[in-house]
Amino acid sequence: MKTRGTRGGIILSLEAQDSIDDLEMTLADHQDLLAGKVFLELTERISWPVVEAVAKVVAVAGGELADLRPPSAVMQARGETVIIAKTIRSGGRVESSGSAIILGDVNAGAEIIAEDDIIVLGTLRGLAHAGAGGNENAFIWAQQILSPQLRIGGALAQAGEGAQSQGADGPEIAHLANGQIILRPWER
């Protein structure tokens, strides 16, 4: 287990090798740090009894277990959805063996590669490759798609030179139809 302070309290980062006995012993020596808000950061899959043991120690110390969160607002497990709770800057690369959800923008020069779908709750300006393992049913959804290059399965679509946004009034989706990538406004 690792700890670090934050303005709102303390963050405890639990790791797979942490045992209930070790955690209880370590936390018992630092109960004064647990009196406020405590955030649990799960770096890997952690068994529920370990989380419950930490919650019990925090309650005994007079603290409040405020939140369970993935490390650095990133969650990834093989074959599962990756959730990134920040903007992906130029040069950044996100890979997922499942779907990828970005809670922010994807800047030009960044790459998002997922075996399944890509969802961007912001503007997509970087490269996006959904269905990277050959899944032709994958899609790319974003509040606005301004990417110079989209890939779905084995298909590739590139924006023409000097291409401008057509000013869609809302979210957009890219999907495959007859082997071609179609970009259109998203309709519920």
Looking at residue 166, its pLDDT comes to 54
pLDDT of 151 > 80? The answer is yes
CATH number of the domain encompassing residue 119: 2.160.20.70
- Per-residue model confidence as pLDDT tens digits over 36-95: 888 787 766 777 788 888 888 888 888 888 777 765 544 444 467 888 999 999 999 999
pTM listed for this prediction? 0.57
- Per-residue model confidence as pLDDT tens digits over 6-37: 666 788 888 878 888 888 888 887 777 788 88
**Last residue in a domain, options 33, 53, 69:** 69
Closest to 44 in 3D by CA, of 4, 86, 5, 2: 2
Q: In angstroms, rounded to a whole number, what is the distance separating the alpha carbons of residues 146 and 13? A: 37
84 and 57 share one domain: no
Residue pair 40/12 in contact by the 8 Å Cβ criterion: yes
90 and 34 share one domain: no
